[in-house]
Amino acid sequence: MNLIDYVSEGGGVVCEPAPEYREKPVALGIHTLDTASCFFGTMDLVLCHLRASKMNLSSLHVLMILHPLENRRIKLNALAARMGLTCAGITKVADALDQMGFTFRSVVPGDRRSIFMNLTDEGAAFAESIEESLVSCIREGFGIGSGG
């Protein structure tokens, strides 16, 4: 599922890329211009969707860290260290993501002072939609097929 599909299935409001990114430039035999146009157009969509979702880049960063993890969870203090945030800073991000239903917190078994931040299915779907949009953009810009 890409960002557009996620949005159209009720994941958020539909956003259009800014006018300067709607048309791809002539390739000129080089994929760089296509890639830049596609990348910035995709980022414009991502930022628009983040604003509509009342989410910031730190919240998206958390989702992108959690999504590929095997258990889709990480200790809150490890996440703060990885992102270069204070405990108060990561708590603010965690509160916002919890309220959106993208994450939830749980106590680490055997260590009541440590807290896991867990990714929900809804949070995983959102992260996947952003990731697929960016990967698609890169493939299109560099002329790479969809097969791996």
pLDDT tens profile 22-61: 454 444 344 455 666 777 777 777 777 778 778 888 999 9
Q: What pLDDT score does 142 carry?
A: 63
Q: Which long-range contacts (CB under 8 A, 24 or more apart) does 103-108 make?
A: 103/62, 103/63, 103/66, 105/76, 106/73, 108/75
Looking at residues 113-119, what average pLDDT do you find? 96
Give tens-digit pLDDT for 135-145: 776 676 666 66
Q: What pLDDT score does 146 carry?
A: 58
Q: What pLDDT score does 131 carry?
A: 83
Q: What pLDDT score does 121 carry?
A: 97
Give tens-digit pLDDT for 57-84: 899 999 999 999 999 999 999 999 999 9
Six token digits for residue 69: 């993890």
Q: Is the pTM of this model over 0.75?
A: no
Looking at residues 97-118, what average pLDDT do you find? 95
Query: Could you tell me the domains of the chain?
Result: 3-142 (1.10.10.10)
3-state SS class at 28: coil
Q: What pLDDT score does 21 carry?
A: 45
